[in-house]
Amino acid sequence: MKIAIAGAAGRMGQMLIRQVAGTPGCTLAGALEGPTSNALGRDAGEVAGVGPKGVKIVSDGAAAIGAAQVVIDFTVPAATVAHAGIAADKGVAMVIGTTGLDPAQTALIHAAAKKVPIMWAANMALGVNILLALVEKTASMLDPSYDIEVLEMHHRHKIDAPSGTALALGRAAAAGRKVKLEDVWRKSRDGHTGARPAGEIGFATLRGGEEVGVHTVMFAAAGERLELEHRSFSRETYALGAVTAAKWLEGKKPGLYGMKDVLGL
């Protein structure tokens, strides 16, 4: 399978290139970066530390994406939307790990998925996707006297908060309670907030250092607290999931898929 990587010079992009290089049946076909990147013109394999691959990092999205069967994108919302439009025009499948898209950007991803298969997930680690299922099941079993709080911590460089995974966990909890997350969430607290309303799903965000990712879902009631937690120690787990998803997309019909589909959960 010919795979293109968007954001090829970034930390996640380099990890993805290494994963593609080490996956039998996969080859790097394109490497894409923004027009101001100092990696433009360099060999993507050398940038990622796996030796020359004969693929230069370019800023021409049509050229990089058009050379592949699937493009993997862990970039920023505006770039991801632009890449999805190119992929749809070129007939190239897409794996998206970008979070923080607004409703208008999300609608454009849905539009692209009408033309090509797209797998979009806030987190591609197997453990996180099992956690999502556990959170939904647990929330369905506990009544609203159990307060739900989602705590997440990431490295200092992360640009969106709460993380996409934290929001996905909140949505899983809301689904378990058969409510809409936007109707019950509290993304931050400051000052005299008053007593916590029953049924509220709260979020707490921590940023610092080089923390890859910690997500904890707490179910707190009088006399006890249940915690479900996942910790990532390396971006490698995300890269493995993304390349697994890329291979899974081969031959799939246009549509929007998730890691539940890829993993058969």
Q: Which domains does the chain have, with CATH numbers?
A: 2-120+235-263 (3.40.50.720), 126-232 (3.30.360.10)
Summarize the confidence of residues 192-219 as an average pLDDT: 94
Summarize the confidence of residues 9-29 as an average pLDDT: 96
Cα distance between residue 45 and residue 105, in whole Å: 31
83 is catalytic: no
Binned at pLDDT 50, 70 and 90, residue 212 comes out as confident
Comparing 1-10, 51-60, 97-106, 247-256, the range with the smallest average pLDDT is 97-106
Q: Which residue of the set 56, 158, 187, 247 is catalytic?
A: 158
Percent share of the chain, pLDDT over 70: 100
- C-alpha distances in Å from residue 185, one per residue of 7, 57, 204, 249: 32, 41, 11, 33
User: SS in 3 state form for 159-175?
Assistant: CCCCCHHHHHHHHHHHH
Q: Which residue of the set 53, 83, 154, 230 is catalytic?
A: 154
Binned at pLDDT 50, 70 and 90, residue 125 comes out as confident
260 is catalytic: no
Residue of 19, 255, 236 whose CA lies nearest to 124: 236
pLDDT reported for residue 122: 83
Regarding beta strands 27-32 and 93-96, do their DSSP bridges make them parallel or antiparallel, or are they unpaired?
unpaired
Q: Is the pLDDT of residue 209 over 90?
A: yes
156: its two tokens: 């200092």
pLDDT reported for residue 219: 98
CA 81 to chain centre: 14
Indicate the angle between helix axes 77-90 and 103-112, nearest 10 degrees. 20
